Structure 1
Amino acid sequence: MSKLTVATATMYELSLAGAEEASRLGEQSGDIDHLLLALTINEQVAGQVLRALSVDLERTRAAVEQQHADQLASLGVQAAAPGPGRITYHERGDFEWNDRALEVLRRAAKGGKRGDAAAVLRELLAEGSGLIAAILERLETTPQQVHEVLDQAERYPAVPSRAMDDGASISGAGEAHVSAPVAEVWALLSDPARMPEWDPGFGRVDDLPDEIEPGASWTAYALETAPNGKPQRVNPERRRARIELVESEPTSAIEWVTTWPDSPKSNRRRMRVVLEPAAGGTRLLIQQGWERTAKRRALPLLRRVMRPLYNAAIWLQISQIGASIGRAFR
């Protein structure tokens, strides 16, 4: 991917996770500690390095909370801070990074730097306030140790996934980290009744099967009211979907095909999620494809023109699914 694409994707992922973490404390502005928290659940190499050093989400949350409490105590402030609540960002929608967090993000994409999560982590470690170093010390590591492990990890860069268009389908793949054991993530994904908890496109399900096995199917209905209470515009033909389970390998992989009975010309959605144990939780490989109906095969020239839009759309959809699954456990 180009530098601009990498930087944009990273900014989106870190801003979403940072906003969610800030909203747990009723905050609408993100600082560098929220940026560190966002990195602990990022699936790029920076997040993998942090989790390998036991800098995971839960331990980092506790370290950040204690660091702020001690800073207030050093100033003679003994008032108890409000305890964390649930993630409310998607209900309120207001968030912005403060100046020093924005400066870290800007430096990560400046000059020859790629603007990926590793570049953000390096700039965060170099930030001069001392806050990140103090938090890492509570987590029994140091900026130098993080740098050393990151240097080793980046010697073997991963090849990024891209969207593909073979004329019959448009597909892509991406990764996500979930701060929960594989068994818990599997319990969420394998239960049709829980689909609205992680698929942002659906608000409720119905007609559930008696047996959850390949070939089983059920009905899902489009989300009509956003978490912030605003009505969603839904195409009447896309209001009702039919979900079929086509593969189920317990705690390992699951796949569904979605069709829209009231819109027979609509492309079918095929989604597969592979689960693997990882430091600090579960690694997900999410594959999604849109399979064209025979009546909607695009012309070759049109496919070439639309390829950048397909890339962006597939990446955004996979990112949203991964983030939603992770949010269910935070």
Structure 2
Amino acid sequence: MSKFVLAAQTSQSLSLAAMEEASRAGLRVADLEHLFLALVISDQAAGGSLRSMGIDIDGARRAVEEAHAAQLASLGIEASFPEAGRIVFHETDGYDWSKRAYDLIARSVDKDKNGDAAAVLRELVSEPSGLIANILERLGTTPQAVLEHLDRFDAAAERTATRPAKVKGRVSGSIETFVPAPIDGVWQFLVDPERIPDWEMSVGSIDHVVQGFTPGMVWQGLAPESRPDGKPVNVKPRFRRRSIELVTAHQPERIAWSFTYPDAPESSAILTEFILVNTTGGTQVQISKSWSRRPGWRRLVALPLRPLQKFIVWITLFQTGGAVSRAFR
């Protein structure tokens, strides 16, 4: 993966998580503390390093709240922040980075820095305001200890990194996401047909859900009529219905769903597969989507569209991963 692609994907994933965390407090500007929270749940080595130090999302949130309260008290202000609620980022708009957070992320791609989450974390723990150092102190550690642990963890992760195998004759894509929940709970969420609308953006509702879920069972889904922010969705009639088949359900490590459009028989079935691995602080989830390539002349016509196709696959995977993580935060 090129430095540009890695930095862009890192920025996108950290932006989503940080702004989701800001939205819990009714804020529209994500600052350094929200970037720190995003790094705690990052699927990259930076997140794994923090979690292996015993820093989880609940503890990090408490430390941020305590740091804010202490800062107000030091100014002689007796006030309390409103209690954080659920994530509403996907239902609202108007979010942005603070200038200092934006500049910090930009520095993570300077010169010989590659712009991954580890580079962002190294910049963050060295920021001069003292906010992150204060938060880390409340978590029982220091910026220096975080940097030293990250160096060891990052090197080990690079040695053991693997790439998913490509399947001949199929268009495919894969990403990983960290979910701050036990593996059994994540598996139950992903295998439940009623929860499909929570992570599959093209499905708004499921008809006639029956008890139990056995491979080979098929459900009918309907396209959403509106987005989470309330804006209407225009869907062509032949793409309104989806047949959804549970292909694989191996507890607790693997689930696969097949999605087809019964009113558009020329379209390919899309296979969405989840592979779950128990990890420190939660579950690492690999999400893959694949479908058959068009044969003959249609495949040749589609060749110039491959880069756009890859981008669309990544965006849909990114949305799915974000939705799964959000369901447990």
Smaller-chain TM-score range? over 0.9
Is 1:253–2:254 an aligned residue pair?
A: yes
Letter in 1 for 2:49: V
Q: Could you tell me which residue of structure 1 aligns to residue 213 of structure 2?
A: 212
Tell me the SS of whatever aligns to 2:204.
strand
In 1: Cα distance, 2:278 partner to 2:297 partner: 40
The 5-angstrom pairing of residues 66-105 of structure 1 reads 66-105=66-105
Aligned CA distance change for structure 1 residues 75 and 54 (closer, same or farther; 3 Å): same
Shift of 1:327: 0.4
In the superposition, the TM-score normalised over structure 2's length comes to 0.94
What per-residue deviation string (whole Å, max 9, x for no partner) do you get for residues 28-75 of structure 1?
001100000011111011111011111211110000001101110111
In 2: Cα distance, 1:163 partner to 1:239 partner: 32
Q: Could you tell me which residue of structure 2 aligns to residue 6 of structure 1?
A: 6
Does the aligned pair in 1 maintain the 2:179–2:324 contact within 8 Å? yes
Is 1:60–2:64 an aligned residue pair?
A: no
Q: Could you tell me which residue of structure 1 aligns to residue 265 of structure 2?
A: 264
Shift of 1:153: 2.0
Shift of 1:306: 2.7
What per-residue deviation string (whole Å, max 9, x for no partner) do you get for residues 218-254 of structure 1?
0111122111110012122111100111111112111
Aligned CA distance change for structure 1 residues 163 and 9 (closer, same or farther; 3 Å): farther
Does the aligned pair in 2 maintain the 1:163–1:314 contact within 8 Å? no
Most deviating of 170-179 and 151-160: 151-160
What per-residue deviation string (whole Å, max 9, x for no partner) do you get for residues 188-224 of structure 1?
1111111112222211101324541110010111122
Q: Could you tell me which residue of structure 1 aligns to residue 225 of structure 2?
A: 224
- Count of residues in correspondence between the two structures: 327
In 1: Cα distance, 2:165 partner to 2:308 partner: 10
Shift of 1:148: 1.1
Is 1:150–2:145 an aligned residue pair?
A: no
Q: Gapped runs of 5+ residues in structure 2?
A: none
In 2: Cα distance, 1:298 partner to 1:44 partner: 34
Q: Could you tell me which residue of structure 2 aligns to residue 191 of structure 1?
A: 192
Shift of 1:130: 0.8
Aligned CA distance change for structure 1 residues 212 and 293 (closer, same or farther; 3 Å): farther
Q: Gapped runs of 5+ residues in structure 1?
A: none
Does the aligned pair in 2 maintain the 1:40–1:56 contact within 8 Å? yes
In the superposition, the TM-score normalised over structure 1's length comes to 0.94
Q: Could you tell me which residue of structure 2 aligns to residue 234 of structure 1?
A: 235
Is 1:26–2:61 an aligned residue pair?
A: no
Aligned CA distance change for structure 1 residues 160 and 172 (closer, same or farther; 3 Å): farther
Cα RMSD for the two superposed structures = 1.8
Q: Could you tell me which residue of structure 2 aligns to residue 288 of structure 1?
A: 289
Q: Could you tell me which residue of structure 2 aligns to residue 140 of structure 1?
A: 140
In 2: Cα distance, 1:227 partner to 1:94 partner: 15
Does the aligned pair in 1 maintain the 2:46–2:154 contact within 8 Å? no
What per-residue deviation string (whole Å, max 9, x for no partner) do you get for residues 96-143 of structure 1?
111110111010011121111111001101111111111011111111
Most deviating of 22-31 and 196-205: 196-205
Tell me the SS of whatever aligns to 2:287.
strand
Does the aligned pair in 2 maintain the 1:241–1:260 contact within 8 Å? yes
Tell me the SS of whatever aligns to 2:273.
strand
Q: Could you tell me which residue of structure 2 aligns to residue 308 of structure 1?
A: 307
Is 1:326–2:313 an aligned residue pair?
A: no
Letter in 2 for 1:150: L
In 1: Cα distance, 2:15 partner to 2:45 partner: 17
Letter in 2 for 1:6: L
Does the aligned pair in 2 maintain the 1:163–1:172 contact within 8 Å? no
Shift of 1:145: 1.2
Shift of 1:163: 9.5
Q: Could you tell me which residue of structure 2 aligns to residue 40 of structure 1?
A: 40
Shift of 1:9: 0.5
In 1: Cα distance, 2:162 partner to 2:89 partner: 29
Most deviating of 206-215 and 231-240: 206-215
Aligned CA distance change for structure 1 residues 316 and 69 (closer, same or farther; 3 Å): same
In 2: Cα distance, 1:9 partner to 1:282 partner: 20
Give the % identical residues.
Answer: 43
